[in-house]
Amino acid sequence: MTKTNAARFLDSLGIVYEIREYAVAPEEFSALVVADKIGLPAEQVFKTLLCVTSDRAHVFAVVPGDAELDFKKLAAAAGARKAEMVSLKDVQPLTGYVRGGVTVFGAKKDFPVFVDETVELFEVVSVSAGTRGVQVVLSPAEYLRAAKATVADLTKDARQEKSA
């Protein structure tokens, strides 16, 4: 079993978690594929996105695998005018992780973490363990505690997506 930085970080906090490893194709980045491979519904597999606000501040947005991040809602939660995804080339230098393996645990810098409010609906959620093909499954309360996260409404409503 792979001991990732994220797993070591959770160990240091005494948090109980489960590691689920799965085979991953180089071009596969979909949270829906990950959910299928680890046997959890997509809404319980959260993806970690590195964003930057209008104040040039970096923040993590953590949203369900079957949902789309609403940048306006993230900006409001972060107290900024607007927010957008960080350029792909900046992800690894800023976090220490590659695309598809980004996690807030053990990242190079402690950026503020905002998690979609749906996280609290589940008994367990899954997030990347810091490397592609490895997920950490843990309770939402433990995730929020370890991530020092702020819970907010971060996803686009189904109605919004149709009108957008």
Per-residue pLDDT reduced to its tens digit, 45-84: 999 999 999 999 999 999 999 999 999 999 999 999 999 9
CA distance 114 to 4: 22
Q: Match 């749906």 to its residue by tokens.
A: 118
Closest CA to 7 of 125, 124, 110, 16: 16
Residue-level length of the chain: 164
Considering only CA atoms, give the Rg of the chain.
Answer: 15
What does the pLDDT average to over 136-148? 97
- pLDDT of the residue at 86: 96
**What rounded mean pLDDT belongs to the chain?**
92
Read off the pLDDT of each residue in 125-133 and give the average, rounded to a whole number. Answer: 94
Domain containing 38: what range? 5-163
Give the CATH number for residue 82: 3.90.960.10
Question: Can you give the pLDDT at residue 158?
Answer: 65
| Nearest one of 164, 159, 144, 148 to 46, comparing CA atoms | 144
User: What are phi and psi for residue 110, nearest 5 degrees?
Assistant: -85, 80
Phi (first) and psi of residue 145, to 5 degrees: -65, -50
Per-residue CA distances from 113 to 24, 40, 147 (Å): 26, 23, 7
Give the span between the Cα atoms of 39 and 59, in whole angstroms: 29
User: How many domains does the chain contain in total?
Assistant: 1
Residue in the structure block whose two tokens are 């009108």? 163
pTM: 0.92
Contact of 153 with 121, CB cutoff 8 Å? no
Return the structure tokens found at 115: 């998690």
